[in-house]
Amino acid sequence: MTILLFLLQSDRLSLLSPTTDQQPQCFHVQERKKVFILYSLDHPLYKNIVLKFCAFLMAKCGTEVILDLLDSTRVAMLGRIQWLDWQRERIESSSDKILLLCSKGVQAKWRAMCGEKRVLLREDLRSPMSDMLTPALGLIVPQLVHRASFEKYMVAYFEGICSPEDVPSPFNVTVRYKLMRQFEELFFRILDAEKQGPDRVRYIEGLAEGEYHHCSTGRALLEALEDFRAYQRKHPAWFEEQLVEDLDVEDLD
């Protein structure tokens, strides 16, 4: 029976850990975690990716997601800064995490905070909440000097759409997860669980790069990623086209 199980799982074993003789162990998620997601509204197609990613986290992974787009009424009631600081404090006092999804807009807005030219994006100006990322960075970057807080922050980017160059410099010392290739590793981090140990390698069913799109929300996410990749190939200057000069604000429509 052991030999048969090994043969059935040998392909997955070679992908997870090619140097170990241990069988991979399926890890069953028991605790529902919460993730506060920060991002930049770079483009309508990127906004769609963020929403589809959150839907995947909630439906497939059983994760509670905090996202301004899903809580716009409360953001309007409290105000942007108060809502962001409230969410940050709730995360800081728990075992939950903050995930920064890096993109060209994230890097550009960080550089603007460091003294470079102000960044205005079309989607920020169309959104009733405006740019939520810049005040969020102002709140969380000072927290990175505290080691206890540092463990709560995760950095990721969607491979093929964004790149390591899109990560702001304060986060260069953190692990940068490539999505969706390293999503399973990221999710283990969300769970505060170890994927690899001295005597075992764990996996979570349906979260590997070649598996996540087998469910409906994962398939929708994959389609959103492919749509934006195709758009970027046709429009290599897409980000520059999303930048708006102050004088052009009234002409967005």
Give the pairing type, strands 34-38 and 64-66: parallel
pLDDT digits (tens, 9 = 90+) for 67-126: 999 999 999 999 999 999 999 999 988 989 999 999 999 999 999 999 999 999 999 999
pLDDT digits (tens, 9 = 90+) for 51-79: 999 999 999 999 999 999 999 999 999 99
Whether pLDDT at 169 is above 50:
yes
The pLDDT assigned to 185 comes to: 95
Mean pLDDT of the chain: 87
The pLDDT assigned to 96 comes to: 93
The pLDDT assigned to 60 comes to: 96
Quote the CA–CA distance of 87 and 18 in Å, as a whole number.
Answer: 41
For the chain, how far is it from start to end, CA to CA, in angstroms? 65
Whether pLDDT at 12 is above 50:
no
CA dihedral 38, 39, 44, 48 (to 10 degrees): -50
Under 8 Å between Cβ of 178 and 156:
yes
Tokens encoding 9: 């799982």
The pLDDT assigned to 27 comes to: 75
Whether pLDDT at 11 is above 90:
no
pTM for the full model?
A: 0.87
Q: Which domains does the chain have, with CATH numbers?
A: 32-245 (3.40.50.11530)
Whether pLDDT at 13 is above 80:
no
The pLDDT assigned to 22 comes to: 64
What residues contact 117, with CB distance under 8 A and at least 6 apart?
none
Quote the CA–CA distance of 152 and 44 in Å, as a whole number.
Answer: 29
Q: Which of 60, 80, 59, 61 minimizes the C-alpha distance to 71?
A: 80
Question: Percent of the chain, pLDDT > 90?
Answer: 69
The pLDDT assigned to 149 comes to: 65
Angle, helices 133-140 vs 80-92, to 10°: value is 40
Question: Percent of the chain, pLDDT > 70?
Answer: 85
34: β partners = 64
What residues contact 137, with CB distance under 8 A and at least 6 apart?
38, 109, 110, 113, 168
pLDDT digits (tens, 9 = 90+) for 192-208: 988 876 677 888 999 99
